[in-house]
């Protein structure tokens, strides 16, 4: 998927979520409800646009590090950003023992990439390079901002439905069955769209990262290790479910995303991601040559 198509798909999905947001507001509260929904949506979007990066760093207790602290990590990030013609992001390390990584920031000029102590101990250099290429691809594709906005709109829809339940809907009255259905189904619909956005972003970052590192096999190997180990090492209690979408593998999920449960997963099944990466290997090598060339 080219960057232009990716951006267009992004805005279509966000427009669909905002349309659902406004429709719920109108259904549950008439014109006043729609106005409240619009104000809430704009407010959440503005807040997440400016502060999503700082919120993510604080919630994972990550600290910024320099090249003297982690020379290998810093070198890999610098090489990948130069290869992708990107500014150097802030480099952070979290004390989390669960192996994981994430990137955040509203654009490449305000980006942060973070890894946990657990991932630094688990992966070799090739695998770490593949993971960092994946995360920097999120930055290049503006995926962090997209995910933050989608999460904000989805949360707003849930709050709007909750407010309507407790404080009443349109003063002119309405069909209580329709209102109850909207209260129950709107958050589910918003969540399904949000999860679809998240899974699509992960596939795209896998693909972009494979081309950036020229080594899809290394990223596939890293994903397998992360999946296996993260199930044995719990995340910190401070980590919230709404933050799971940021990470390269879901830090909270104890179940593989299969069947209907996959619709509510922030990440595609690891085995599917690995299969796609391995299928890309010949194409990546044909276009760019194996790593080190």
Residue 26 pLDDT > 90: no
221 compared with 243, residue with greater pLDDT: 221
Domain contains 20: yes
Per the model's pLDDT, the better-predicted residue between 262 and 129 turns out to be 129
pLDDT greater than 80 at residue 95: yes
Nearest of 78, 106, 109 to residue 91 by alpha carbon: 78
Under 8 Å between Cβ of 186 and 257: no
**Residue 175, pLDDT score:** 61
Give domain status of residue 145, yes or no: yes
For residue 143, name the pLDDT band (cuts at 50, 70, 90): confident
Q: Is residue 206 part of a domain?
A: yes
CA distance 112 to 106: 10
Structural domain span for residue 266: 3-288
In a domain, 234, yes or no: yes
Q: Name the region of 211 (left: φ>0; alpha: ψ -120 to 50; beta: rest).
A: alpha
Q: What is the per-residue pLDDT for 248?
A: 94
Chain mean pLDDT for the chain:
80
What lies within 8 Å, CB to CB, of 7 at 6+ separation is: 142
Closest to 113 measured CA to CA, from 127, 134, 84, 141: 134
Mean pLDDT for 63-78 is 96
Is the pLDDT confidence value at 208 over 60? Answer: yes
Residue 255 confidence (pLDDT):
41
Selection from 24-38, 191-205, 236-250 with the highest mean pLDDT: 191-205
Distances (CA, A) of 54 to 75, 78, 208, 224, 235: 24, 21, 25, 29, 19
Q: What pLDDT, on a 0 to 100 scale, did the predictor assign at position 1?
A: 46
pLDDT given at position 89: 95
Q: Examine residue 293 and state whether it is found in any structural domain, yes or no.
A: no
Mean pLDDT computed over 158-169:
62
Residue 88 inside a domain? The answer is: yes
The count of structural domains within the chain is 1
Place of tokens 């997209």: 146
Out of 64, 127, 135, 243, the active site residue is 135
**Highest averaged pLDDT of the listed ranges 147-151, 217-221, 230-234, 277-281:** 217-221
Cβ burial of 31 (10 Å; 0-12, 13-18, 19+) is: exposed
Average pLDDT of the residues in 235-264 = 68
pLDDT of residue 7: 58
Report, as an integer, the average pLDDT of 241-251. 83
Q: Provide the whole-model pTM.
A: 0.78
**Residue 227 bears catalytic tag:** no
Q: Return the higher-pLDDT residue of 254 and 128.
A: 128
Question: What's the mean pLDDT in 103-126?
Answer: 92
In this structure, of 53-57, 58-62, 161-165, 197-201, the range with the lowest mean pLDDT score is 161-165
- pLDDT class of 71 with cuts at 50, 70, 90: very high
């Amino acid at each position: 998927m080219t960057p232009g198509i990716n951006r267009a798909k992004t805005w279509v999905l966000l427009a669909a979520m905002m349309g659902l947001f406004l429709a719920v507001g109108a259904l549950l509260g008439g014109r006043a409800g729609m106005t409240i929904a619009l104000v809430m949506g704009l407010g959440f979007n503005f807040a997440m646009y400016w502060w999503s990066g700082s919120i993510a760093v604080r919630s994972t207790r990550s600290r910024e590090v320099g090249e003297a602290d982690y020379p290998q990590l810093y070198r890999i990030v610098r090489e990948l950003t130069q290869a992708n013609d990107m500014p150097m992001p802030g480099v952070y390390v979290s004390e989390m023992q669960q192996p994981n990584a994430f990137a955040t920031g509203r654009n490449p000029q305000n980006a942060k990439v973070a890894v946990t102590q657990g991932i630094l101990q688990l992966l070799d250099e090739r695998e770490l390079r593949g993971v960092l290429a994946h995360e920097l691809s999120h930055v290049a594709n503006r995926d962090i901002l997209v995910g933050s906005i989608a999460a904000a709109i989805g949360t707003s829809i849930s709050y709007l439905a909750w407010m309507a339940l407790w404080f009443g809907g349109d003063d002119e009255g309405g069909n209580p069955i329709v209102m109850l259905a909207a209260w129950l189904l709107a958050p589910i619909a918003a969540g399904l769209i949000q999860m679809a956005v998240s899974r699509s972003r992960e596939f795209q970052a896998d693909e972009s990262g494979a081309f950036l590192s020229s080594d899809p096999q290394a990223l596939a190997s890293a994903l397998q290790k992360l999946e296996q180990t993260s199930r044995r090492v719990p995340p910190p209690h401070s980590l919230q479910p709404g933050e799971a979408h940021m990470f390269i593998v879901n830090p909270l999920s104890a179940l593989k995303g299969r069947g209907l449960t996959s619709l509510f997963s922030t990440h595609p099944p690891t085995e599917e991601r690995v299969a796609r990466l391995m299928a890309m290997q010949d194409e990546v090598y044909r276009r760019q040559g194996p790593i080190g060339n």
